[in-house]
């Protein structure tokens, strides 16, 4: 609607309203609000709003934020990566069972994050019965990426306020920052401020999530470090050195970097067939390694879809896994965006790169 500027008297008998086109700022805000309303209409999981993008929140213009380094994290992360590099040199000397074990730990860790931390606890895209939730929380502990409550809180705030200072791994702050740098410095005050407004009552109410948070340090020690090292050493006589550096340090560093690539690569490079107005992008190659988790333009457009992709099993082992769990009754109420809504959205906001698969 045009904005009335002033009422001017043209003649004694008539008055007219002189209008001007709305300012760019106002126009942008209206567009964003319209976008938000349409987004809500598409939502097939109306009970949870905490991961729905809020385009009305934008950073104020100002100097770049100051970095407050956390030296403990910088030193530990550097040592861990050095350990993993040494692990690479040991790979050829490992027993075949150790390779298989490291690969199994990789798959279990990633599943814990994709099917558990991401699709179940952060986005509530499906429901899971206790045995599955138990498996997923243990698997996610093996991945050691912060406890479930903290991960889901950071992830919801990443979706809602994406590419602003309230996004913990804001990709506008550069590749290194959104890949790993954000774990080496104190969070921007906006993360705390906006994250503090989120409703996390579902997470607080879940005993398993709170139990993991309470005993997180000893559980991580056991699941991420002790168990993966002891199994090859005890079970098939692998050397302690090979077990520690390959099955534990190298495997953990690969899991971490694969996950971080979603924040860096999948927010910086790739097509945006579903919504060209956001930075998240599609990356099929990354999705293969992440068991289906880098169809990131689709995922940020439709965060309530349990497949995090328009498709089901294509480069998406996690969806296959959830479907298998559904077949045996351990997963249910799987949310999937109807094809017609997807196609309408592609037409409305896509970048034109869409090819039906």
In the complex, which residues of this chain contact Zn ion (CB under 5 A)? 280
Does residue 159 belong to the site contacting ligand ST9 (CB under 6 A)?
no
Residues 7-66 close enough to bind ligand ST9 by CB under 6 A: none
146 is a site residue for ligand ST9 (CB under 6 A):
yes
What binding mask, one character per residue, do residues 222-261 give for ligand ST9 by CB under 6 A, x or -? ---------------------------------xx--x--
Does the footprint of ligand ST9 cover residue 183 (CB under 6 A)? yes
Q: Which is nearer to ligand ST9, 172 or 187 (CB)?
A: 187
Q: Is 206 exposed, middle or buried (0-12, 13-18, 19+ CB in 10 A)?
A: middle
User: At 174, phi and psi to the nearest 5?
Assistant: 100, 160
How near is the Cβ of 298 to Zn ion at its closest, in Å?
11
CA–CA gap between residue 48 and residue 29 (Å, rounded)? 24
Q: What is the DSSP letter of 182?
A: G
* H helix intervals, 91-242: 96-111, 130-143, 148-160, 175-179, 189-195, 201-204, 207-214, 216-220, 227-236, 240-242
The region of 40-48, 108-116, 223-231, 336-344 touching ligand ST9 under the rule CB under 6 A is: 108-116
Give me the residue label for tokens 């169809």.
295
* Out of 36, 52, 70, 208, the residue judged to bind ligand ST9 by CB under 6 A: 70
| Identified binder of ligand ST9 from the candidate list 110, 231, 278, 280, rule CB under 6 A | 110
Query: How does strand 15-20 pair with strand 331-332?
Result: unpaired
Asked whether the beta carbons of 109 and 306 are under 8 A apart, the reply is: no
Residue with CB nearest ligand ST9? 195
Structure tokens at 190: 């906006």
Q: Where are the beta strands (DSSP E) in the chain?
A: 3-9, 15-20, 127-128, 331-332
Q: Is 157 in the site for ligand ST9 (CB under 6 A)?
A: yes
* Residues binding ligand ST9: number (CB under 6 A): 30
Sole binder of ligand ST9 in the list 170, 243, 263, 349 (CB under 6 A)? 263
What are the residues whose beta carbons fall under 8 Å from the beta carbon of 11, sequence distance 6 or more?
A: none
Kindly identify the residues of this chain, within the stretch 320-349, that bind ligand ST9 according to CB under 6 A: none
Residues near ligand ST9 (CB under 6 A) = 70, 73, 110, 113-114, 118, 143-146, 150, 153-155, 157, 168, 183, 186-187, 191-192, 195-196, 255-256, 259, 262-263, 290, 293
């Amino acid at each position: 609607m045009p904005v009335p500027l002033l009422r001017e008297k043209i003649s004694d008998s008539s008055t007219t309203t002189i209008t001007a086109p709305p300012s760019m700022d106002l126009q942008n805000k209206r567009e964003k609000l319209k976008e938000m309303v349409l987004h809500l209409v598409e939502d097939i999981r109306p009970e949870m709003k905490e991961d729905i993008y809020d385009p009305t929140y934008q950073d104020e213009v100002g100097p770049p934020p100051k970095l407050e380094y956390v030296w403990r994290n910088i030193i530990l992360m550097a040592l861990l990566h050095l350990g993993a590099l040494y692990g690479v040199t040991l790979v050829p000397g490992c027993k075949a069972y150790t390779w298989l074990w490291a690969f199994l730990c990789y798959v279990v860790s990633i599943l814990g994050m994709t099917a558990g931390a991401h699709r179940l606890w952060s986005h509530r895209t499906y429901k899971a019965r206790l045995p599955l939730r138990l498996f997923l929380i243990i698997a996610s502990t093996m991945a050691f990426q912060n406890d479930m409550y903290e991960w889901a809180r950071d992830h919801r705030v990443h979706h809602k306020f994406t590419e602003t200072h309230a996004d913990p791994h804001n990709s506008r702050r550069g590749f290194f920052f959104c890949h790993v740098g954000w774990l080496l410095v104190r969070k921007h005050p906006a993360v705390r401020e906006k994250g503090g407004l989120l409703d996390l009552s579902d997470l607080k109410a879940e005993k398993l999530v709170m139990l993991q948070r309470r005993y997180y340090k000893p559980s991580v020690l056991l699941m991420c470090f002790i168990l993966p090292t002891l199994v090859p050493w005890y079970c098939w006589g692998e050397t302690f050195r090979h077990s520690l550096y390959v099955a534990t340090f190298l495997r953990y560093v690969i899991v971490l970097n694969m996950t971080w690539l979603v924040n860096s690569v999948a927010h910086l490079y790739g097509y945006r067939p579903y919504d060209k107005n956001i930075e998240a992008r599609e990356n099929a190659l990354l999705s293969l390694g992440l068991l289906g988790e880098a169809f990131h333009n689709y995922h940020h457009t439709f965060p309530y879809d349990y497949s995090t992709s328009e498709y089901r099993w294509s480069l998406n082992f996690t969806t296959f896994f959830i479907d298998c769990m559904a077949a045996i009754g351990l997963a249910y109420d799987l949310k999937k965006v109807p094809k017609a809504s997807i196609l309408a959205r592609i037409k409305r906001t896509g970048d034109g790169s869409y090819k039906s698969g």
